[in-house]
Amino acid sequence: MARRSIDIAFTKAKVAVFIDGCFWHGCPEHGTQPRANADWWAVKLRRNMVRDAETDDLLSLASWRVLRFWEHEDTQSVADRICSVVQAPVNPDTARKA
């Protein structure tokens, strides 16, 4: 399996945060398709996005909450959203084991 890394992991709260690069992850606002070697890039970038979805699924199955942000998003609002999720009450079963 290709290497998958979580950008920020809150292990106790089981919250995984990813900051996705606009180019590499196909941002709807800034994602571009290079003209040189267009076919190769199309496959490569699509594969990244499929892998992102798979990663989300795997984490969800392991009861993690997944947060994804684009690299172009405002840092403060990203931080606020992460805090609100990490500090949100988790379901009682998870909380007891934590």
Nearer to Zn ion, 10 or 24 (CB): 24
Going by DSSP bridges, is the β-strand pair 65-70/15-20 parallel, antiparallel, or unpaired? parallel
CB of 69 to Zn ion, least distance (A): 10
Contact between residue 12 and residue 65 where contact means Cβ atoms under 8 Å apart: no
Q: Largest Cα–Cα distance in the chain?
A: 54
Nearer to Zn ion, 32 or 94 (CB): 32
CB of 19 to Zn ion, least distance (A): 11
Helical (H) or strand (E) element with 66: strand 65-70
CB of 21 to Zn ion, least distance (A): 8
> By the criterion CB under 5 A, which residues form the site for Zn ion?
22, 27, 29-30, 70, 72
